[in-house]
Amino acid sequence: MTLRIIKPEVIKDKTILLRVDFNVPLTNKDGRKVVVDNTRIKKALPTIKLLQQHNCKIIMLSHLGRPGGKIDEELRLEPLATELSSLLEEGLESETEAIPQIKTSQHLVGSEVEALISNLKAKEILILENTRFDPREKENDLKLAEKLASYADLYVNEGFSVSHRAHVSTAGITNFLPAYAGLAFSEEYQMLTQLTKDPKKPFVAVIGGAKISDKIEAIRNLTKIADVVLVGGGIANNFIKAEGIEVYQSYLEEEKLAEKKNDDQSFVELAFDLLEENKVDKMLLNDYIPLPKIIYPSDVVAAEEMKKPSWTEVVSLTDNKQQDLYPDLMFLDIGPKTQRLYRDIILQAGTVFWNGPMGVFEEEAFSDGTKAIASAVAKTGAETTIGGGDTLRAIKNFGLEGRFDHVSAAGGAALDLLAGHRLPGLEPLLESA
């Protein structure tokens, strides 16, 4: 399968519906809403500029936050237009050059939008109001999709990070318009498929974070494509408990998958099965130490309080006597032994994929594990890909930005792709080679 990517001869002089993911954090400043982190907007700039170079009229679609299918004054897209405008201005070659106008509408469809579109000139941008103000967006309502499609000649998806959603703006529209991937979408797709198809060995996956429900399927699929999966963070507690080790008051997502997947196993049971299935797989460390495919922490940093703890303690999980004393104990970071082992493995990898902090990195006392992993991934000679909103935040805190080969901005969508799922926003852009 190959991805259909925008090309000059296809986009020239066309009106384009461009789906972006401008779901960025906003804050109030001098009575106005302003963008706090414009990374996602920046990622779409090359595609926007390419469309402008080829005289396209650009109608942009994005969601922002979770308005729940209703208008929410706090979540209007206007501040995004201001940010986009100043980013495009920064990129201008000369001061005399004017940037094409950026307009916003108060609605997603309807007469106001139609009037704005009929006045839209080549290179201009119209940002339609928050797609999620309309309840039909998430229902993937085909009537809404058809209406939106009637406004343009082509659809371009530049929001890989929402391509795991079957919504009007990510999937529905492709029923009515020729659909192409934008440049950043394509880059993200290539880097993730590279991991699943032809990673340089050994391929080490490091998975952490809080909720195992977000990540278990990616872990399952990674056991098939990676040589070793190192787990940390809150999700490691499921594996630790699966091995019969007490986790006390540690964060543990134990809800059943029943509602979602018609599966009545708990996450601890699923973790147990994964460990069992992968017992026989071995990977060699330094060419002589056999390792199981899934490795979970052998020691943890524990405390009774998550915020500003009065004391913390390293608890060895291979020696269970010392833990009986503390019924309120929580495991909040990977311990020093585990850090060393994970580090050694990462330094010998050919490919590393890392998603999810190793502990509650927001708290100084529990940030060492994530720091150790971040430094090892930054330092290794392997081809590295990192992703996950909190993981990227941790990297920023540690001052390690720019030390990785690929940074995936697509948390859930990336994990879904790595889990082997079909993404409803990606499928319509693929064609058999």
Q: Which residues bind Mg ion (CB under 5 A)?
A: 389-390
Q: Among residue numbers 307 through 336, which ones bind ligand ADP (CB under 6 A)?
A: 331-332
Q: What minimum distance in Å lies between the beta carbon of 225 and ligand ADP?
A: 19
Q: Is residue 23 involved in binding ligand ADP (CB under 6 A)?
A: no
Q: Which is nearer to ligand ADP, 136 or 241 (CB)?
A: 241
Is residue 75 within 8 A of residue 25, CB to CB? The reply is no
The Cα 370–Cα 357 span in angstroms is: 5
The residue nearest Mg ion at its CB is 390
Q: Which stretch binds ligand ADP (CB under 6 A): 99-107, 172-180, 209-217, 371-379?
A: 209-217
Number of Cβ within 10 Å of residue 270's Cβ equals 20
The Cα 409–Cα 396 span in angstroms is: 14
Q: Is residue 238 involved in binding ligand ADP (CB under 6 A)?
A: no
Of the candidates 211, 223, 220, the one whose C-alpha atom is nearest the C-alpha of residue 356 is 211
Q: Which stretch binds ligand ADP (CB under 6 A): 74-82, 153-161, 284-292, 355-363?
A: 355-363
Q: What minimum distance in Å lies between the beta carbon of 209 and ligand ADP?
A: 2
Number of Cβ within 10 Å of residue 70's Cβ equals 10
The Cα 294–Cα 275 span in angstroms is: 7
Of the candidates 229, 334, 348, 320, the one whose C-alpha atom is nearest the C-alpha of residue 277 is 229
Q: Which is nearer to Mg ion, 134 or 390 (CB)?
A: 390
Is residue 320 within 8 A of residue 246, CB to CB? The reply is yes
Within 8 A by CB and 6+ apart from 289, the residues are none
Q: Which is nearer to ligand ADP, 277 or 405 (CB)?
A: 405
Q: What minimum distance in Å lies between the beta carbon of 369 and ligand ADP?
A: 8
- β-pairing verdict for 283-285 and 289-291: antiparallel
The Cα 1–Cα 385 span in angstroms is: 22
| 233 interacts with, out of ligand ADP, Mg ion, none, CB within 5 to 8 A per kind | ligand ADP
Q: Which is nearer to Mg ion, 171 or 218 (CB)?
A: 218
Give 3-state DSSP helix, strand, coil % of the chain, rounded to 5.
Answer: 40, 20, 40
Q: Which is nearer to ligand ADP, 345 or 410 (CB)?
A: 410
Q: Which is nearer to ligand ADP, 172 or 369 (CB)?
A: 369
Q: Among residue numbers 167 through 186, which ones bind ligand ADP (CB under 6 A)?
A: none
Q: Is residue 411 involved in binding ligand ADP (CB under 6 A)?
A: yes
Helix boundaries (H) for 211-297: 212-225, 233-242, 258-261, 267-277
b (16+ CB within 10 A) / e for 9-34 = eebeebbbbbbbbbbbebeeeeeebe
Q: Which stretch binds ligand ADP (CB under 6 A): 60-68, 95-103, 153-161, 350-358?
A: 350-358
Instruction: Give the residue, chosen from 79, 297, 388, 428, that forms a contact with ligand ADP under the rule CB under 6 A.
Output: 388
Q: Is residue 351 involved in binding ligand ADP (CB under 6 A)?
A: no
Q: Is residue 359 involved in binding ligand ADP (CB under 6 A)?
A: yes
| 251 interacts with, out of Mg ion, ligand ADP, none, CB within 5 to 8 A per kind | ligand ADP
Q: What minimum distance in Å lies between the beta carbon of 33 and ligand ADP?
A: 24
Is residue 296 within 8 A of residue 240, CB to CB? The reply is yes
Within 8 A by CB and 6+ apart from 257, the residues are 213, 263, 264, 265, 266, 267, 270
Q: Which stretch binds ligand ADP (CB under 6 A): 161-169, 193-201, 354-362, 421-429?
A: 354-362
Q: Which stretch binds ligand ADP (CB under 6 A): 49-57, 130-138, 210-218, 271-279?
A: 210-218
Q: What minimum distance in Å lies between the beta carbon of 324 and Mg ion?
A: 34
Q: Which amino acid is at 42?
A: K
Kindly determine how many residues on this chain lie close enough to bind ligand ADP according to the rule CB under 6 A. 20
Binding residues (CB under 6 A) for ligand ADP: these are 209-211, 214, 233-234, 251, 331-332, 355-357, 359-360, 362, 388-391, 411
